[in-house]
Amino acid sequence: MKNDRFLIITGLSGSGKTVVSRFLEDIGYYCIDNLPSKLIPNLVELWTRKEVEIERIALVVDIREAGFSKKFPEVLKTIRKKISSRLIFLEASDAALVKRFSESRRPHPLARK
């Protein structure tokens, strides 16, 4: 599908964004992790002008970015005027998230200190 050439992956911390990104890289996507949403239109502009020789792109966008919930819908609207894209939002159960963060021995990024 044409809209599978530009993917935006986001979701809960610990939901598997990195795992999905690694898989997509293995099947030929150029993956960019933690690109600030403000820069996405610039990337799309370069990509559509063929200034970068990349067939398929997968972006991992962090929902913890300051102002994400306000900025991102507008960014998505802007880029969808130029290209087809697919937005993938990953979730996991609370139990799975707790388990993943306890295994990594890192506190969850949104946990209170």
pLDDT digits over 24-46, tens only? 999 999 999 998 989 999 999 99
What is the pLDDT of the chain when averaged over all its residues?
87
- 113 within a domain of the structure (yes/no): no
Q: Is pLDDT above 70 for 11?
A: yes
pLDDT at 44: 94
> What pLDDT is stored for residue 75 in this prediction?
94
Residue at 92 is within a domain: yes
The verdict on residue 76 lying in a domain is yes
Q: 18 is in which domain, residue-wise?
A: 2-104
Determine, yes or no, domain membership for 112.
Answer: no
Q: Cβ(54)–Cβ(96) under 8 Å?
A: no
Report the distance separating Cα 17 and Cα 2, nearest Å.
22
List the one residue out of 94, 84, 112 whose CA is nearest residue 14: 94
Looking at the chain, the whole-number percentage of residues with pLDDT higher than 70 is 89
Q: Given this model, what pLDDT does residue 41 score?
A: 95
Asked if residue 35 belongs to a domain, the reply is yes
Q: What is the number of domains present in the chain?
A: 1
Token pair recorded at residue 50: 């063929």
Say whether pLDDT at 102 is over 90.
Answer: no
Give the SS3 label for residue 71.
helix
Residue 11 lies in a domain: yes
Q: For Cα atoms 69, 67, 110, give the angle at the middle one, nearest 5 degrees.
A: 85
- The predicted pLDDT at position 1 comes to 46
Does residue 110 belong to any structural domain of this protein? no
Indicate whether 109 belongs to any domain: no
| pTM, full prediction | 0.82
Find out whether 20 and 88 touch, Cβ atoms under 8 Å: yes
Strand order in the sheet with 86-90: 30-33, 57-60, 6-11, 86-90
- CATH number where 69 lies: 3.40.50.300
